Structure formats: C-alpha cells, structure tokens
C-alpha cells in the first residue's frame, strides 16, 4: 500500500521543488527546508499518515500559489495605479 503512494509523494516533491524557484527567501533556502521536511518523514509506513502528509503538502502548494498570485497582482496594481488614488 505504501508503495502505491510513492508516486504521489514524488509528484508532490517535484511540484514543491518547482514552486520553490520563486520563493521570496530564495530557491536554496526553500530546497533545503523541503528536503528536511521530506527526510523527517521518510520512515513513515502507515498509509493513512502518509495520506495526511500528502494532503498537508498539497495545502502548502495551494498556499504558495496564492502567495505568488498575490505578489504578481500587487506588482501589476503598482504599475498601473498610483498610491494617491
């Protein structure tokens, strides 16, 4: 059972690694934190616990996407509207 979740875990790791390229503190900082988080749970065998960890990782993906969209929105707004309005 845990072996079938391996693909999901690898996909999540790759997604987070890709999103970490634009992280405000830098890609190296994000990569080291990501690796530490995944290594901390590498010995987990319980499929339910693994599914919970995957769900938490997917939540982090959504939060990062929201952070990036907000940053892009603020940059666009700053370009087209002055602070006086």
Where in the sequence is the domain holding 19, given as residue range(s)? 3-81
Number of structural domains (the chain) is: 1
- Residues 25 and 71 sit within 8 Å (Cβ to Cβ): no
Could you count the other beta carbons within 10 Å of the beta carbon of residue 12?
A: 19
36, 28, 25: which is closest to 64 by C-alpha?
25
Q: Enter the pTM of the model.
A: 0.80
Radius of gyration of the CA atoms of the chain, in A? 17
CB-CB contact of 77 with 35 (8 Å):
no
Segment 14-71, tens digit of pLDDT? 999 999 998 888 899 999 999 999 999 999 889 999 999 999 999 999 999 999 898 8
Q: Which structure tokens are listed for 37?
A: 């988080």
């Amino acid at each position: 059972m845990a072996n079938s979740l391996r693909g999901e875990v690898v996909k999540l790791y790759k997604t987070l690694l890709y999103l970490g390229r634009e992280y405000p503190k830098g890609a190296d900082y994000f990569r080291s934190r990501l690796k530490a988080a995944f290594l901390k749970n590498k010995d987990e065998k319980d499929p339910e616990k693994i599914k919970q960890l995957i769900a938490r990782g997917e939540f982090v993906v959504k939060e990062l996407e929201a952070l990036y969209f907000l940053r892009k929105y603020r940059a666009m707004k700053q370009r087209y509207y002055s602070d006086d309005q």
